[in-house]
């Protein structure tokens, strides 16, 4: 180690650091300074490796977020530059810059901390180890504009001979210095150049504003068509699309090129490139299919015209021989919702089990069967009438399709049962309850939900549902009550529910009593079932409070105990107190404001967003009674999680919004308009805009809503939404209704 890179140089300033409390356990870097010294100074390689492992455990830990990360980054970068565990430290710094496994609120700060160290690391571009260069390039891709980095890449470009690294360098240069990247790219389009370099060059030129030409098209198509099934790819999980992808997550040049073309009004050109990929023949069909899918997903998510144009292309990929391609295409179609309907016939080829019958061995058959299940689920989601007989035929091993029918699958755009009554499916459900199948072990729960949605039409299944009462105590009672309502079997069903309630635990007694109330109107037994729940173990108490709140004024006998639960205890946290407050408000109404203000005030000051959201939600239902909290509610308008209930609460407080209030009317209007584009349910924001306008939407608001309705691009993604296309369709429907269109 040179004097320049001696431990005292690497650790300069370490003694002056004031480290925040870490709060970690199980040996992670609770002592950052000591761990850094061990990493840099220890002669024992095992000690160094233990120190490195500690930082991996801490910097990538999910909960709690490691608060000293940004402070540790400069020391880790100096150690890397000095030759200590270079590849591992570069990978770690890339993880920090990318936010991998990090659901933080400070990701911009962390990325900037790593980017600030890039100049120190740039000499590693000339390292002999390809992996070290590759990790540094990945960091540059996350680090934003930097003339110094762009010039370092220009200098390295003349020396680098590996085509894959040249491509990566050019991609990184696009981030560090677009003008330098365009200069390099102009000389890299010729047919003698590597296809990947030509593609990245084309992307850089388009990003720089170049007009689309035959030369650029040839470069893009050549790359997209080439490749073999044996081509090495990196399989990674994309959180935006919630899909596994078989491309390099740091170089998505083809999909970025298509997005840029679409963004500047050349969507037909993007589609032409896709069609060229899909029409290509010969080896590499699976690779080409995955490339097409990687490009289709963001186009559908970002551009409102894209799904209708791309659904037929997805249909061709659904029938692809590569089951990975077919399965991914099906997942993408499910996220398109109604606009995936043109692919229904293609989905049917899988849902019918044709590919399962054609499988060459049991492993292929298992894969094909899983794809068939997802294809049938997609048909169920679309409400295709051909789905129901197939579901009835194959019910024992159609887990995803049954979850979708019951409104339980997270992949479904429906959150409640959506399959109409069908006698064949009823018979299949009864048979599956009588003869459980290990391939669909959760079927009784799903079937209870589905049968309950059919109401009295499911009455023939009551004998089977009775057998589930001792097993599925949380779900079977509701199905029994729904199926027996208004039928001759109602009296027997009531007796069965009473018997189930009497023989159940405190926790399981409540759903049986609630179902009995729904069937007979007997409120007294429900109240008496909830009462012991409020004194039981924690999860019973929480369930009891929710049920008490649903009783409304009829829950008045429970108020004394609920009021006791407004005070935090040893195991009873502030979040539980707020659930009790919500129940008290639902039962006692706005008159309970004075007794709820203290616990709501505590909730509004909590460090946890979910608790603040719960508190402001209760406050929004208190109306004018929440006036003492107005000053504390106003700051919650700054958070997406608490904005809408905070706005509702303030609008319900006389004088809180306006010249003399805590919130400016114009600022609140602007924030509500922004929320229309970001909330999953824009109807609430539109209603509040109407309230703010005195019962009608002002002309300026109408104009802004119409702009949102007619925009070609979907609103920017804020937060995670698996079904962004369907959510946007619902948003536009709400906008049309508000505008009377």
Q: What is the DSSP letter of 17?
A: -
> Global pTM?
0.82
Q: Hey, what are 117's tokens?
A: 């160290």
Rounded CA-CA distance 456/156 in Å is 75
Query: Residue 9: pLDDT above 70?
Result: yes
Q: What is the pLDDT of residues 651-665, one digit of tens each?
A: 999 999 988 889 999
Query: Residue 60: pLDDT above 60?
Result: no
Q: What is the model's pLDDT at position 64?
A: 44
With contact defined as beta carbons under 8 Å apart, do 724 and 302 qualify? no
Residue 428's pLDDT band, with cuts at 50, 70 and 90, is very high
The residue that leads in pLDDT, 59 or 413, is: 413
Query: Residue 193: pLDDT above 60?
Result: yes
With contact defined as beta carbons under 8 Å apart, do 540 and 507 qualify? yes
Q: Please compute the mean of the pLDDT values over residues 371-399 and round it to a whole number.
A: 95
CA 726 remoteness from chain centre? 14
Query: Residue 730: pLDDT above 50?
Result: yes
Whether the bond between 674 and the residue before it is cis, its omega within 30 degrees of 0, is no
Query: Residue 32: pLDDT above 90?
Result: no
Q: What is the model's pLDDT at position 22?
A: 52
Q: Please compute the mean of the pLDDT values over residues 450-479 and round it to a whole number.
A: 96
Using DSSP's 3-state secondary structure scheme, residue 720 falls into: coil
Q: What is the pLDDT of residues 528-537, one digit of tens each?
A: 999 999 999 9
Query: Residue 516: pLDDT above 70?
Result: yes
DSSP string, 326-337: HHHHHHHHHHHG
Rounded CA-CA distance 452/483 in Å is 6
Return the residue matching tokens 């870490």. Answer: 22
Rounded CA-CA distance 538/575 in Å is 12
Of 128, 54, 116, 117, give the one whose Cα is nearest residue 87.
128
Q: What is the model's pLDDT at position 68?
A: 75
Rounded CA-CA distance 124/128 in Å is 9
Query: Residue 2: pLDDT above 50?
Result: no
Query: Residue 438: pLDDT above 80?
Result: yes
Partners of 244 in beta bridges: 237
Q: Please compute the mean of the pLDDT values over residues 43-51 and round it to a whole number.
A: 83
Q: What is the pLDDT of residues 274-327, one digit of tens each?
A: 999 999 888 888 888 988 998 999 999 999 999 999 999 999 999 998 898 999
Residue 481's pLDDT band, with cuts at 50, 70 and 90, is very high
Query: For 303, phi and psi rounded to 5 degrees?
Result: -120, 125
Q: What is the pLDDT of residues 232-268, one digit of tens each?
A: 455 555 555 545 555 555 558 899 999 999 999 999 9
Residue 413's pLDDT band, with cuts at 50, 70 and 90, is confident
């Amino acid at each position: 180690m040179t004097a320049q890179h001696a431990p005292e140089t690497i650790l300069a300033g370490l003694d002056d650091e004031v480290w925040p409390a870490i709060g970690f356990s199980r040996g992670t870097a609770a002592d950052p300074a000591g761990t850094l010294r061990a990493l840099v100074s220890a002669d024992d390689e095992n000690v160094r490796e233990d120190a490195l492992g500690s930082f991996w455990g801490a910097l990538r830990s999910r909960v709690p977020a490691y608060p000293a990360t940004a402070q540790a980054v400069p020391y880790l970068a100096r150690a890397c530059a000095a030759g200590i565990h270079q590849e591992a430290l570069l990978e770690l710094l890339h993880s920090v810059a990318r936010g991998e496994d990090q659901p933080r609120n400070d990701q911009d700060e962390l990325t900037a901390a790593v980017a600030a160290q890039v100049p120190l690391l740039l000499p590693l571009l000339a390292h002999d180890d390809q992996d070290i260069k590759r990790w540094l390039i990945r960091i540059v891709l996350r680090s934003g504009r930097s003339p110094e980095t762009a010039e370092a890449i220009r200098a390295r470009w003349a020396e680098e001979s590996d085509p894959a690294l040249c491509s990566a360098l050019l991609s990184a240069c696009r981030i560090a210095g677009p003008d330098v990247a365009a200069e390099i790219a102009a000389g890299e389009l010729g047919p003698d150049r590597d296809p990947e370099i030509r593609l990245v060059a084309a992307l850089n030129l388009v990003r720089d504003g170049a007009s689309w030409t035959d030369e650029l098209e040839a470069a893009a198509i050549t790359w997209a068509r080439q490749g073999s099934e044996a081509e090495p790819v990196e399989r990674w999980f994309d959180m935006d699309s919630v899909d596994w992808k078989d491309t390099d997550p740091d170089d998505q040049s083809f999909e970025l090129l298509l997005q840029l073309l679409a963004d500047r009004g050349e969507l037909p050109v993007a589609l032409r490139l896709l069609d060229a990929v899909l029409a290509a023949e010969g080896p590499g069909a699976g690779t080409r299919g995955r490339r097409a899918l990687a490009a289709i997903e963001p186009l559908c998510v970002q551009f409102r015209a894209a799904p209708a144009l791309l659904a037929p292309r997805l249909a061709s990929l659904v029938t692809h021989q590569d089951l990975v391609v077919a399965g991914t295409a099906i997942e993408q179609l499910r996220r398109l919702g109604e606009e995936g309907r043109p692919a229904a016939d293609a989905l049917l080829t899988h849902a019918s089990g044709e590919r399962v019958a054609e499988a060459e061995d049991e492993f292929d058959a298992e894969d094909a069967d899983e794809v068939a299940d997802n294809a049938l689920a997609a048909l169920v989601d679309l409400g295709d009438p051909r789905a129901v007989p197939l579901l009835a035929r194959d019910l024992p091993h159609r887990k995803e399709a049954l979850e979708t029918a019951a409104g339980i699958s997270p992949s479904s755009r429906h959150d409640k049962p959506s399959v109409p009554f069908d006698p064949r499916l009823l018979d299949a459900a009864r048979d599956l309850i009588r003869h459980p199948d290990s391939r669909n072990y959760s079927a009784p729960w799903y079937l209870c939900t589905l049968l309950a949605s059919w109401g009295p039409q499911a009455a023939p299944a009551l004998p089977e549902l009775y057998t589930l009462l001792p097993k599925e105590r949380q779900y079977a009672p509701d199905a029994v009550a729904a199926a027996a309502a208004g039928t001759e079997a109602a009296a027997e069903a009531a007796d069965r529910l009473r018997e189930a309630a009497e023989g159940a635990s405190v926790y399981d007694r409540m759903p049986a009593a609630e179902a009995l109330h729904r069937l007979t109107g007997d409120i007294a037994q429900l109240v008496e079932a909830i009462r012991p729940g409020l004194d039981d173990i924690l999860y019973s108490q929480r369930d009891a409070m929710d049920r008490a709140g649903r009783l409304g004024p009829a829950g008045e006998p429970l108020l004394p105990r609920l009021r006791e639960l407004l005070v935090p205890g040893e195991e009873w946290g502030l979040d539980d107190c707020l659930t009790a407050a919500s129940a008290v408000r639902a039962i006692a109404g706005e008159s309970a404001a004075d007794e709820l203000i203290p616990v709501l005030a505590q909730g509004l000051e909590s460090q946890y967003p979910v608790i603040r959201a719960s508190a402001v939600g209760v406050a929004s239902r208190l109306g004018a009674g929440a006036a003492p909290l107005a000053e504390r509610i106003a700051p919650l308008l700054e958070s997406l999680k608490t904005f809408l209930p905070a706005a509702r609460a303030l609008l319900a407080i006389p004088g809180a919004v306006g010249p003399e209030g805590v919130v400016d009317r114009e600022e609140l209007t602007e924030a509500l308009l922004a929320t229309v584009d970001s909330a999953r349910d824009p109807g609430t924001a539109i209603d509040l805009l109407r309230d703010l306008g005195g019962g009608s939407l002002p002309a300026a608001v109408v104009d802004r809503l119409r702009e949102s309705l007619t925009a070609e691009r979907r609103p920017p993604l804020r937060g995670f939404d698996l079904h962004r296309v369907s959510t946007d369709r619902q948003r536009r429907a709400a906008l049309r209704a508000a505008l009377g269109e």
